[in-house]
Amino acid sequence: MSDTAEREPRIFVLPNLMTAGNLLCGFLASLHIVGRFQPDDGHQRYIWAIGLILLACFFDLLDGRLARMTGQSSSFGREFDSLADVVSFGVAPALLMHDIVLAEFEQSMAGLGWLIACIYLVCGAMRLARFNCLAAMPHQGGSTHFRGCPIPVAAGVIVSLTLFLLWLDGSNREIGRWRYALPVLMLILSYLMVSNVEYPSFKAVNFRTRRSFHWVLVSILVLFFTVRYWQWMPMVLFVSYLAYGLVRPWISRQWRQQLEEEDEEEKSAKASPPAPARDDSTEDPASLI
């Protein structure tokens, strides 16, 4: 009986509430996309869906960091987070792109629209499965980078660019000829998610991280511009991170250390001998996705 109890997954309330918020945002975004709450005319339903997907990104950013700060990390949280990410950053963006532009390809290009949406969804799910496998390996939970583009970033690039195009187009449902670039972007992001391109995780950055004054000032300015110019600033942030991963191998080591500076506590942990693997790791890899 005691052996069974020891094998039960550890479930913590605070980080899993954030993950549940992520999952619910993805589900509600899907309902908005299919017109459950708004009529078909206009693109208000798209704005709501995009806002909910971006809110899901915020919940996903919080859950792992809160888990580490409060000592409430568990393998259950990692698996729950991946399931939520499939809905919020896989299904919902694929539905959004299909409704806006990919549906036009169904008759003219023999079903190419749904195929592109399926490729994106499958690559996103494979990216999450690969991450969970790597995170379960001994001494892999403390990695400071991702292998492949994180699926929240891929979803963020798609929906923030769509938001920008909708804003440029005004009140018309059609978002102009630029929308035909979105299917190409989905295929590029699909490849990046399953590629070996490394992206920094910034997982050491949390509410207790100590930074110099200029970093604090930059953070305040970024927050101000994001709130003030919500129509295009999310696109700048997501595209900048996406591009950084592509040019990262050519950036000098000194610049990378400054941009990806780790906490002193994290550096000390990396310098010390690795601890033996446990069932419930103290590092919650859910925050890396």
Both structure tokens of 285: 């890899």
The DSSP H or E segment spanning 19 is helix 13-33
Mean pLDDT lowest for which of 79-93, 132-146, 182-196, 264-278?
264-278
Maximum distance among all alpha carbons in the chain?
A: 64
Please report the pLDDT score of residue 282 as a whole number.
43
Q: 70-74, 113-117, 120-124, 198-202: which has the highest mean pLDDT?
A: 120-124
Helical H segments across 137-277, by residue range: 151-169, 181-194, 213-228, 233-247, 253-259, 264-271
pLDDT over 90, % of the chain: 39
The DSSP H or E segment spanning 199 is strand 198-200
CB-CB contact of 96 with 159 (8 Å): yes
Which pLDDT band holds residue 238 (cuts at 50, 70, 90)?
very high
The average pLDDT across 167-194 equals 81
Question: Shortest CA distance to 189 belongs to which of 51, 104, 106, 94?
Answer: 94
pLDDT over 70, % of the chain: 71
CB-CB contact of 238 with 152 (8 Å): no
Mean pLDDT lowest for which of 16-20, 26-30, 125-129?
16-20
Q: 6-15, 177-186, 237-246: which has the highest mean pLDDT?
A: 237-246
Question: Under DSSP, is residue 57 helix (H, G, I), strand (E, B) or coil?
Answer: helix
The average pLDDT across 277-285 equals 44
Give the global pTM: 0.81
Q: Say if residue 15's pLDDT is above 70.
A: yes
The model's pLDDT over 53-101, given as tens digits with 9 standing for 90+, comes to 999 999 998 887 777 677 667 788 889 999 999 999 999 999 999 998 8
Question: Which has more confidence, 257 or 243?
Answer: 243
The label of the residue with tokens 């003219």 reads: 108
Question: Which has more confidence, 68 or 50?
Answer: 50
Mean pLDDT lowest for which of 36-40, 103-107, 122-126, 137-141?
137-141
Question: Shortest CA distance to 139 belongs to which of 289, 272, 287, 275?
Answer: 275
Q: Which CA distances in Å does 70 have to 47, 73, 229, 282? A: 34, 8, 33, 11
The average pLDDT across 188-216 equals 74
- Which residues, 6 or more positions from 261, have their beta carbon under 8 angstroms from its beta carbon? 211
The average pLDDT across 25-46 equals 85
CB-CB contact of 122 with 108 (8 Å): no
281 DSSP assignment: -
| Crossing angle of the two packed helices 181-194 and 112-136, in degrees rounded to 10 | 20
Q: Say if residue 264's pLDDT is above 50.
A: no
CB-CB contact of 289 with 128 (8 Å): yes
The label of the residue with tokens 């009529």 reads: 39
| Crossing angle of the two packed helices 92-100 and 44-70, in degrees rounded to 10 | 160
Mean pLDDT computed over every residue of the chain:
79
